Amino acid sequence: MRGRAGDRSVLRRVWRWLLRGCLALVALWLLAIVLFAFVPVPFTAVMAERQIDHWLRGDLRYVAHSRWVPMRAIAPPMALAVMAAEDQKFSRHWGFDITAIRDALNHNARSRHIRGASTLSQQTAKNLLLWEGRSWLRKGLETGLTLGIEGVWTKRRILTVYLNIAEFGEGIFGVEAAAQRYFSKPASRLTAEEAALLAAVLPNPLSLRADAPSGYVRQRQRWILRQMRQMGGDAYLAQAGLR
């Protein structure tokens, strides 16, 4: 009897510690959401994951590099390009594109090639606070964090954070680092063609390269440029309150 009572006591203590750990993690996420509504993001979960992975493989030269810039220091075509490429309904949805999710589910049920439907808000939540990979647990956490971000941040803030933390290549995070690396200029001076090229690699920035674009990347760049024009160009950002 004493043995069973002792086992139950240990289990209760373990569950209490697990519950406290989960509550502490949720509190940390909520604090981060509130804090980063106002202050620059110094580092993200994805950046940390990439850095640690390289260190564990003995690569001490790798540095996850990012440099924060406000929206006013980012050329308007860059903001428009990522919306055209990744989330054309960004200014109108509340964090999720239901039509895109339904279409992706139907496509994935018929094809081996998985299609995503993550909005810029979802990608921001994942890149900022979660780990890489596909799992129902991560997707569930991403959903909750996206709702939190959409509830606290403005759309302009979400777009600003996304542009500063998105991965554009090996160790290159944020549009300022990408502009300096690939075009030797600040993000404020990016042209529409350069912005579209950077946006073209976003689906897989570790395989698709802006400095040595493949035929697919060039094709995608041209498609993004067409979408940017159809959306209304830079005037669209002002109309949507994103500049």
Condensed to tens digits (0 to 9), the pLDDT of residues 97-118 reads 888 878 776 756 575 665 567 8
Buried b (16+ CB within 10 A) or exposed e, 187-212: beebebebbbbbbbbbeebeebbbee
CA distances in angstroms from 152 to 17, 30, 59, 94, 148, listed in the order given: 29, 10, 38, 12, 6
pLDDT on residue 176: 97
pLDDT on residue 240: 83
The pTM of the full predicted model, rounded to 2 decimals, is 0.89
pLDDT on residue 55: 92
d(CA 232, CA 243): 14
pLDDT on residue 3: 55
pLDDT on residue 103: 72
Residue ranges in the chain whose pLDDT is less than 70 = 1-8, 105, 107-109, 111-116
Report whether 186 contacts 174 (CB < 8 A). no
pLDDT on residue 26: 81
pLDDT on residue 132: 81
